[in-house]
Structure 1
Amino acid sequence: MTSSHLNFKNKHILVVGDVMLDRYWHGGTSRISPEAPVQVVKVSNVEDRPGGAANVALGLAKLGVKVSLVGVVGNDENATALQAALEKEGVDCHFVTAENLPTITKLRVISRHQQLIRLDFEEREDSLSQNQAVEAKVVELLQGASAVVFSDYAKGCLADVQTLIAKSNDAGVPSFVDPKGNDFSIYQGATLVKPNLVEFEAIVGPCADSKEIERKGRELRERFGWKALLVTRGEDGLILLEDGKNSFSLATAAKEVFDVTGAGDTVVAVLTAVYTTSKRFSDAVDYANQAAGYVVGKLGTASISAETLEAIMFARSHSSNFGVLSPEELKEQINLAQLNGEKIVFTNGCFDILHPGHVAYIKQAKALGDRLIVAVNTDASVKRLKGEKRPVNDLTHRMAVLEGIGAIDWVTWFDEDTPLEIIEALTPDILVKGGDYTVESIVGAEHVMAHGGEVKVLSFVDGYSTTSIIEKANA
């Protein structure tokens, strides 16, 4: 599957499951409580994020998918906060309100990027009327759906998931299940079921190696009539068992694990979205693996955009240690180069339409050191900076053109409005900027100089600009 197929705008995916609110209290810790031997956190920031099935829906929305979400919430302020956060990202919420239950909320206290404690607010109460209300909404929304995701956290919304899967099959809509519990018979007839290794072994017993996982997994898949079974194994990668095909295994794509919160949600979101486009489980699993590797490097529940996923897959298709690399892969190569005594030069920009001024500037930058990195604004970042009609060329095309310039060793990307985050992550020896800047005004200069590096301002060649080229073309 090529990156050009990563277009989900005409897809409509229904998500059904246990929704929850992930609330984060951020603050500093500088003293121990006089009341007990515990740290005192001075809360300075409160952050609300969709969690559980809501995070799956959010992940799909970030990919550009049309998403409808069915879940159960309480009649409380947290339900309002959850719905507002989802609707802000374009998720169409169809909540069933349970008057006697609170909205499931997980409160995490964070200090210095470390989770100190988690407090859960939830109650469980199976209700026939609740199940019927969920079913009614699902049946209505299955009409025109490309796929349905059942995100089960064993909190009660999917107490009658067997009926919902049967309704999906009747409607001809493929179903993807993120399961929970010790009875997988309730997922009979699903298209694909995605347990992690702990959940899988709770059903089939301990597995000594991948061969035993494959043998027991095939038996499980055949017993319950699934077209595919995907077992995720954390740092040991994934195993896909598909009807009529050999097993398909992938090593984990994660380079550095910072927080696994929501990684499973990302896998099932990307897996489902890609399958609706390619109709191949192996493609879907490949993309989902790369997405999971990206989000576990972020703090808290995280999502990935279609553009970032496309860029990661584009970079991965380049087998060399040079050329287009993801920021994580590039960090490894920079460390090796600096160990060899090489000076790393960094510059950044949109590079929408490459012209002679760009080429001259790039050659000047390369002359300052041994290796040159060019970091490119993603399409979303360019739009925020330059307007809705830009960029003219999308990210993968811009990176491919830059890769062909001999003076450039590495091309990577960043999604923020400024390159500060990627500069801090890569810490080059020389930071270069073109134009009428002072060193002090250049983003990232303080970080580079604090680590013993240099900051240089270069002049652009007069007479060339992307804007003027576009204006001439439209004249």
Structure 2
Amino acid sequence: MEIALPDFYKVNLLVVGDVMLDRYWYGSLSNISLENSIPIVKKIFIQECPGGAANVAFHAGLLGCSVHLIGFTGFDDESCILNKQLSKKSVICDFIKIPMYSTIIKLRILSDNKEIVRVDFEKKFTDVNMHFKLLDHMKLEISKAGALILSDYDKGTLKNIEKMISLGNKYNIPVLIDPKGLDFSRYRGATLLTPNLLEFEKIVGPCKNETELVNAGMKLIHDFDLSALLITRSKEGMSLLQVGKTPLHIPARTKRVCDVTGAGDVVISVLGASLASGNSLEESCFLSSMVVGEVIKKNRIFST
């Protein structure tokens, strides 16, 4: 069943984060190497698509939003590939190209729909001057945005994330963050964090049931001055926690197990679009659950 989406064509989103290119080599497993007993794959075709923050922007563009994407890349073909693909979806690529750096690439080699190996080409962005430049780019665009999405894959782009959150709050727009790492204090003051269950439990410890999950989540909200927390739980759906409101558990639209990181990119793009269009957080979560269910069924999830 197709989903009737709201009209997002008047929505402006600002997406900032770790920009990547996901590259897939598909092939057939032809033999085993006699030298070291590893599989030999004959490459058949290549697929390239946006990853990380670029994947968030891509899905927001698919919804019909006008998207401004800010992030770091190199002076390379991969940056041009991303620009070309994203511009077709109404995404303005405001790439800050840094000499001596390359665009982050995640290369996956697959055979018979199974991933055999992943090779990461990456180097953390540490140039202080470039981080200040990124903030300057944000300041030029923030007043036009209906929501700010910060996509954190721990590659260095969001080094000044505290200042980015403050900037979003200054303009009174929702600040949504897909978090990474073990230091959630960096996200203090955000409107909404969207960790998956694994990321959440790395911070709060294992949760044996929904009661423990809710208690741990509410403590996290209190400790870091958040407005809300959405925990994506793969086949168990999503759990929305807010101050002063009853926890909302949204069942998954499909029981197929999927990569929660790839699904998280879709979830946060729909949330940002829906909130920027004036829908409530509850309505936005239900909509994102519906959309991600359809995306999973159509095999359009690309993990990072």
**TM-score of Structure 1 vs Structure 2, range by shorter chain:** over 0.9
1:33 aligns with 2:46: no
Deviations 1:315-337 (A, max 9, x none): xxxxxxxxxxxxxxxxxxxxxxx
SS at match of 1:262: helix
| Counterpart residue number, 2:233 | 233
RMSD: 1.9
Counterparts of 2:255 and 2:152, CA distance in 1: 28
| Counterpart residue number, 1:428 | none
| Counterpart residue number, 1:85 | 85
SS at match of 1:282: helix
Counterparts of 1:171 and 1:244, CA distance in 2: 24
Contact 2:65/2:273, CA 8 A, preserved across alignment: yes
| Counterpart residue number, 1:269 | 269
Counterparts of 2:247 and 2:117, CA distance in 1: 40
**Higher deviation after alignment, 287-296 or 6-15:** 287-296
Deviations 1:216-273 (A, max 9, x none): 2112112222211111112222110112211100122223336556111001111111
* 1:71, distance to aligned residue in structure 2 (A): 0.7
Counterparts of 1:298 and 1:156, CA distance in 2: 32
Counterparts of 1:5 and 1:261, CA distance in 2: 23
Higher gyration radius (CA): 1
Contact 1:113/1:299, CA 8 A, preserved across alignment: no
SS at match of 2:37: coil
1:218 aligns with 2:218: yes
CA pair 98-301 structure 1, distance change in 2 beyond 3 A: farther
Identity score, percent:
39
Counterparts of 1:77 and 1:5, CA distance in 2: 34
Structure 1 letter corresponding to 2:213? I
Deviations 1:400-456 (A, max 9, x none): xxxxxxxxxxxxxxxxxxxxxxxxxxxxxxxxxxxxxxxxxxxxxxxxxxxxxxxxx
CA pair 299-25 structure 1, distance change in 2 beyond 3 A: farther
CA pair 265-162 structure 1, distance change in 2 beyond 3 A: same
1:111 aligns with 2:116: no
* 1:40, distance to aligned residue in structure 2 (A): 2.0
| Counterpart residue number, 2:18 | 18
CA pair 169-55 structure 1, distance change in 2 beyond 3 A: same
* 1:79, distance to aligned residue in structure 2 (A): 1.4
Counterparts of 2:261 and 2:225, CA distance in 1: 30
Structure 2 letter corresponding to 1:262? G
SS at match of 1:72: strand
Counterparts of 1:20 and 1:279, CA distance in 2: 30
Counterparts of 1:162 and 1:298, CA distance in 2: 37
Consecutive unaligned residues of structure 2, counting only runs of 5 or more, are none
Higher relative contact order (CA 8 A, sep 6+): 2
Contact 1:11/1:66, CA 8 A, preserved across alignment: yes
TM-score, length-scaled by structure 1: 0.61
Higher strand fraction: Structure 1 or Structure 2?
A: 2
| Counterpart residue number, 2:135 | 135
CA pair 226-130 structure 1, distance change in 2 beyond 3 A: same
The number of aligned residues is: 301
Matches within 5 A, 1:275-286: 275-286=275-286
| Counterpart residue number, 2:166 | 166
Counterparts of 2:45 and 2:252, CA distance in 1: 33
SS at match of 1:229: strand
Deviations 1:384-414 (A, max 9, x none): xxxxxxxxxxxxxxxxxxxxxxxxxxxxxxx
Matches within 5 A, 1:21-420: 21-257=21-257, 260=260, 262-299=262-299, 301=301
Counterparts of 1:142 and 1:258, CA distance in 2: 33
Contact 1:261/1:301, CA 8 A, preserved across alignment: no
SS at match of 2:70: strand
CA pair 146-51 structure 1, distance change in 2 beyond 3 A: same
Counterparts of 2:23 and 2:174, CA distance in 1: 32
Counterparts of 1:55 and 1:175, CA distance in 2: 18
Counterparts of 2:258 and 2:215, CA distance in 1: 32
Contact 2:168/2:174, CA 8 A, preserved across alignment: yes
